[in-house]
Chain A
Amino acid sequence: MVEAPIKHRSALNNWRDKLLDRLEPPSGPMADLQAISRNQLESLPAPDCSQEDWRFCDLAPIAEIEPRQIFSLIKPAAPVVTNQVTRVVIGADQDPLAGVVLPEGLTLLNETELKQSLGNNSNLATSKGHWPLELNQAIAPRVIGLRVRGKVEETLELVCDAGNNRGVIAVHVLLILEEKSKLELLQVQLSAGANLTSVVVEVQLQKGAQLQHGLLALGHPQSALLAHLSVDQEPTSELCQASVCQGWGVMRHEPHLNQLDGGAHTELRALQLVNSNQLADTHSCVRFNGPEGALDQLHKAVAAGNGRSVFNGVVQVPREAQRTNAAQLSRSLLLSDRARIDTKPELKIVADDVKCAHGATVSRLQQDALFYLQSRGIAPPQAAQLLLRAFCDEVICMLPTAAHAWQPLTRLLDAV
């Protein structure tokens, strides 16, 4: 193959080429999709800071990761499961659901159902050509597809620990929550080395369905996480998402929520912590495609060391979304002079009869609170910890109960 000389190719484009070269030929249930996405990816320029959407999010460190697919994962060091939790451990190539007894109300989607529903989500359809999505679909060996009927009493816990493997792992989950069904899902993403985890979760919430989704993502300075959540919500459905991300060299979180005909309830709670040279970027997008939808969004960030935290929160309220009630609040804590926080609410409101509130604050630890604690004999580092813990706990306490076995608060504070 002869290639025209190219003036300048980014390291990430070279990395992508090497990765595509080294992949096994498409195979398994996702073979068709893999092939299509590989073709797409081949000609898709990798994100770089000249693109508005990636302005503050430099993915260059991903190019340092070995461009190969990870085929097997070690068993994660996970806390003991209680009988209120069904744990599914993702092991890359093996079927993570093999041998798992699903709780009542959960059934596997068969291949035909998967083919029908995959990528159907309105916002996925419009994100064709979105690099992280194509990357995921180019390599994900399978889709974990589940149908939810009725109220599922147990928490479903998906654990993926990239460990210290070198390379890329892709996880793709599809959930269909039928009318009035209810599920609590805890997604745990871990890494302890130079690897990239790409995860896409697609969710369809039918009328009256309720999903409580927790994402606990704890990484490593050399690791990267690209997490995409795509949810379609029918009226009267409820989504409550709490995400806690910390420790990744590079982390990009993209929750895309779409209230198909309005009238649904969306609650988002996010916390991201960066230290040393880490980057955490949340780009959320909530669209109201009909009237009377509600959004309650809180995004919190803690930036220490040379860390960089980015939040971009799009809320789209077109003309048909009258009587939308949306609130977005971003609160960031700057713990060092070298850290950076970029936060940008993006409210695109066309409808006139709406309530949309937004606010953003960036502050340091409150001096008067620190002094008060100190005046009671508490040494400055411990006083700072108490305040930091209080700041983080507001989001952490919103994770599904099952998350607490992972001791998120202790892990977060140990790392700052």
Chain B
Amino acid sequence: MICSDAPVLIEICDLHARVDDQPILNGVNLTIKAGEIHALMGRNGSGKSTLSKVLAGHPAYSVTQGSVRYCGQDLLTLQPDQRSRIGVFLGFQYPVEIPGVSNLEFLRVSTNARRLEKGQEELDTFAFEDFVQERLGLVQMDPAFLDRSVNEGFSGGEKKRNEILQMALLEPLVAILDETDSGLDIDALRIVSAGVNQLSNAENAILLITHYQRLLDLIKPDYVHVMAAGRIVRSGDKTLALELERNGYEWVDQGLKALGTT
């Protein structure tokens, strides 16, 4: 939902980042306001996940230029855990398996960290169980997954549901969902999309990283951006995604060749 006087939640300006000595992001510009849903598309390797990880504060990437402001703060100076607590959420493309750490406990510790930051009281184990049971419904996840180790032995789709469950518990202001649709079957895609739609409201915003129109049929983006070689090369409304579906990314290569940056 676009609302011209909505507050800006996140403002990315000329962001450059590298891993080791290899530049990956080469000047990303993107502004997201409250209430908006943005889709980020682009070829494999164009830098989408890198952008999401830089926003989450992954230590492997170093920012060499540019800035990211989140709700008026300099996001890049904050630790990953602080970013999460103030409402930045990354739904991982490849959620990490953590053997031996109980999913339920992990979810509780994480939820409480965010609640404390918001000035809400911590939930004890019983109160949290009620809360999590309610949120499970949103992604129609089997409660049995709570008793297992974090993501351990989960199928691809189950991991993605677990990510959205975390989003539902943490109630972020900016949620970056990196290929949440990959690994989901048709039914699961519908369920997860319905969950995300339910969580979307006028106060928060979502950045959806995806390759597929079928997700954008279910979660309707206000803006679509195309990334190539570490920058956003084109932005438009949802018709841009349809155009990509029809014509592919060939035009991007040509554009880049003309710029001499491939």
Contact = CB atoms under 8 A, between A and B. Distances in A.
Interface of A: 366-369, 371-380, 382-383, 386-387, 389-391, 393-394
Given A377-B170, A378-B81, A371 B59 contact: yes
Interface of B: 56-59, 79-81, 83-85, 90, 92, 95-96, 98-101, 105-106, 109-110, 113-114, 117, 149-150, 166, 170
Contact of B98 (A374, A382, A390): A390
Q: Which of B56, B98, B99 has the most CB of A within 10 A?
A: B98
A383 to B, nearest CB: 8
A376 B79 CA distance: 11
14 contacts: A368-B96, A371-B96, A374-B81, A376-B170, A377-B170, A378-B81, A378-B106, A380-B79, A386-B109, A390-B101, A390-B149, A391-B100, A393-B100, A394-B100
B81 A380 contact: yes
B98 A369 contact: yes
A376 B84 contact: yes
Contacts, number: 78
Q: Which of A371, A380, A391 has the most CB of B within 10 A?
A: A371
Contacts of A371: 58-59, 80, 96
A376 B96 contact: no
Contact of B106 (A379, A386, A394): A386
Contacts of A368: 96
A332 to B, nearest CB: 16
A298 B114 CA distance: 38
B109 A382 contact: yes
A310 to B, nearest CB: 24
A375 B90 CA distance: 7
Contacts of B58: 371, 375
Nearest to B113: A377
Q: Which 4 A-B pairs have the closest CB atoms?
A: A390-B100, A377-B113, A376-B110, A377-B84
Given A374-B80, A374-B81, 6 more contacts: A366-B96, A371-B80, A376-B84, A380-B79, A390-B100, A393-B100
A373 B108 CA distance: 12
Contacts of B166: 376
B101 A386 contact: yes
Contacts of B101: 373, 386-387, 389-390
B135 to A, nearest CB: 14
Nearest to A393: B100
Given A371-B80, A376-B84, A377-B114, A390 B109 contact: no
B226 to A, nearest CB: 26
B100 A375 contact: no
A131 to B, nearest CB: 38
A375 B84 contact: yes
A43 to B, nearest CB: 49
A376 B98 contact: no
A5 to B, nearest CB: 58
Contacts of A390: 98-101, 149
A369 B100 CA distance: 12
Nearest to B90: A375
Contacts of A383: 81
A373 B106 contact: yes
Contacts of B85: 377
Contacts of B99: 390
B96 A372 contact: yes
A367 B90 CA distance: 17
Nearest to A367: B59
Contact of B110 (A366, A378, A393, A394): A378
Nearest to B169: A376
B98 A372 contact: yes
A374 to B, nearest CB: 4
Contacts of B57: 374-375
A377 B109 CA distance: 8
B122 to A, nearest CB: 12
A294 B99 CA distance: 26
A149 to B, nearest CB: 38
B175 to A, nearest CB: 12
A262 to B, nearest CB: 33
Contacts of B96: 366, 368-369, 371-372
A375 B98 contact: no
Contact of B56 (A375, A378, A389): A375
B133 to A, nearest CB: 19
B116 to A, nearest CB: 9
A373 B117 contact: no
B27 to A, nearest CB: 25
A167 B11 CA distance: 67
B171 to A, nearest CB: 12
A273 to B, nearest CB: 16
Q: Which of A375, A377, A378 has the most CB of B within 10 A?
A: A377
Contacts of B81: 374-380, 383
Contacts of B149: 390
Contact of B79 (A374, A386, A389): A374
Given A369-B98, A391-B100, A378 B59 contact: no
A75 to B, nearest CB: 34
A393 B149 CA distance: 12
A376 B106 CA distance: 9
A383 B81 CA distance: 10
A117 to B, nearest CB: 41
Nearest to B95: A372
B169 to A, nearest CB: 9
Q: Which of A372, A382, A383, A393 has the most CB of B within 10 A?
A: A372
Nearest to B94: A368
A383 B58 CA distance: 15
